[in-house]
Amino acid sequence: MDTRNKQTPPAVTTVLFDFDGVVVDTEAQYSSFWHQVGIDYLQTDELEIQIKGTTLTDIYHRFFKNRPQDQKAITAALDDFEQQMEYDYVPGLQEFASDLRRHSIQTAVVTSSSSKKMAAVFRKRPEIESMFDRILTAELFTRSKPAPDCFLLGMHTLGATPQETCIFEDSFNGLRAAVDSGASVIGLATTNSRESIAPFCQLVLDNFLGFDHNALLGTHRQALGHKHTT
């Protein structure tokens, strides 16, 4: 067999993590907040289901368009709520991040959260700042997810190409952004069901328990290998 035109797919050098639902498991807390917002402002008890995995901009556009005073009040309440939240890690995340560092894999958190919220996170979990090489917040992106801008900036910041990058995401908008960035994508079923996010990623995990550097490399090779053969 003539293998002269075949190339080995690039090795993964960089991993980008969304924050909520990937690094920390905050779904239940946000569901509680938005459930109460639905009752107070929209007379519905299922708002948290309708907005699952979407951004604050999307929520305001869909449910609070032309209601600037309500948006202002909800934003203030959300800011206060996030200052008091618990930020428990997705199981296995700390061990996985440490394993990546031991293997010289660059890492960054790429989040739609504001720097104000992340300051609250750092007060509760100060080790997060040193767990990753960079933490990029919403203020740095012109367009939010599902646009891929945030992940492309993450790659640019760490000097990586899409073919060298793997992204971990949980929300539909985040997964769409990750796919459009050209990277390989692994989904976390912390916010949505395994079945619903499977079409957007090469692998679905419930958490990081038992997942390590070698498993990452195998998933990445499987995702990109066919693009580098003829």
Q: For the chain, which residues make up each domain, given as ranges?
A: 14-26+88-228, 27-84
> Across the strands, what pairs with 135?
109
pLDDT for 52 equals 81
Tokens standing for 102? Answer: 């031991």
Mean pLDDT in residue range 183-190: 96
pLDDT at 155: 98
Residue 1 has pLDDT above 70, yes or no: no
Query: How many Cβ atoms sit within 10 Å of the Cβ of residue 62?
Result: 11
For residue 12, what are the contacts with CB-CB under 8 A and spacing of at least 6? 105, 164, 165, 166, 184, 216, 217, 220
> What pLDDT score does 200 carry?
96
d(CA 75, CA 35): 15
Please state the rounded mean pLDDT for residues 83-95: 96
Cis peptide before 68 (omega within 30 of 0): no
Classify domain 14-26+88-228 at the CATH topology level.
Rossmann fold (3.40.50)
The answer on pLDDT for 178 being more than 90 is yes
